[in-house]
Amino acid sequence: MKPIFLLTSLLLVVAPRSSVARAPSKEDRFTKAIAKRARHIKNTKARKAYARRYAKRILLESKRRNLDPVAMTAVAWIESDFKESAKRTEGNGVASYGVWQIIPSGFSYSLIRKTLGGCKPPPKLKQWRVYWWKRRMRAKGAKCESQAVANRRIKSGKLSPKELRDHILATYIAHYEMSIHIKMSYKLRDRPRRIRGCKLPRKIQYVLYRMARFNSGMQKPRRYYLWRLCKRYGILNKEINPQKAQG
């Protein structure tokens, strides 16, 4: 009778614990929300893995730059529907690439030179490019904010379309760009306005108004882009933070 008693006791202890489902983590909730938008990936397992890669990077980079990860997820949704293959060409012939629709040269490149130029040469860098990378390392004020991000580079100069489709490097650049655009908004003395047709709290609307400069640059945010940003932020927030959204 002793073995039966021990088995019964064990079942009583284990059963209540196993019956309680683990609550989804923040990363899980972001993964699910992104996977819902990445319908271009037909295989369910591959789509989930793809979504998790972006969920991890958005959470990490948003924390680094003190940005709202839900808002950044909404930006990616608007810019590309989370398609790494996305490419958009403007009227002047300049193209933007990837999930975040980043332009290869100019602003983006000058930014990462400040924060990644002091890192060690990436392992995939061709030998003749290492010389130019090391020259920047000796530059005054060169920093290495993240060697892991720097390791994703395959060139030492202008960013390539392939690099802008890399989930680690491109997400890093997008968040860095966003932080600069927000600072620029303050510098230009923007007066954030409520977004027409937006039912989000005023404080959130003002944040989104500044973040919309990621798309408009030096110009004032476009009304249609603001409306889409508000709408998609609201949808994502209900999915990712259901308790806060209800409150």
8 has pLDDT over 80: no
Give residue 28's pLDDT: 96
For residue 52, give Cα distances in angstroms to 61, 63, 83: 14, 17, 14
Which segment of 4-13, 36-45, 124-133, 160-169 scores lowest on mean pLDDT? 4-13
Residue 183's pLDDT band (cuts 50, 70, 90): very high
d(C-alpha 117, C-alpha 141), whole Å:
9
Query: What would the mean pLDDT of 223-242 be, rounded to a whole number?
Result: 96
Contact 137, 107 (CB under 8 A): no
* Sign of the dihedral defined by the CA atoms of residues 65, 67, 73, 74, in that order: negative
pTM of the model as a whole: 0.88
Residues 60-86: pLDDT tens digits? Answer: 999 999 999 999 999 999 999 999 999
Mean pLDDT of the chain: 88
113 Cβ contact list (under 8 Å, min separation 6): 136
Residues 101-153: pLDDT tens digits? Answer: 999 877 888 889 889 989 999 998 998 999 988 887 777 788 999 999 999 99
d(C-alpha 240, C-alpha 123), whole Å:
37
163 has pLDDT over 80: yes
For residue 211, give Cα distances in angstroms to 17, 179, 226: 44, 8, 9
Query: What would the mean pLDDT of 98-103 be, rounded to a whole number?
Result: 95
15 has pLDDT over 80: no
Which segment of 115-124, 202-211, 238-247 scores lowest on mean pLDDT? 238-247
Give residue 180's pLDDT: 94
12 has pLDDT over 60: no
For residue 192, give Cα distances in angstroms to 43, 87, 219: 42, 30, 13
Give residue 73's pLDDT: 98
Domains of the chain, start order: 26-104+159-241 (1.10.530.10)
Query: What would the mean pLDDT of 205-223 be, rounded to a whole number?
Result: 92
State the residue for tokens 């920093």: 143
The rounded percent of the chain whose pLDDT value lies above 90 is 66
Give residue 175's pLDDT: 97
Q: Tokens at residue 238, please?
A: 């209900």
Strand, coil or helix: 95: strand
Contact 150, 144 (CB under 8 A): yes
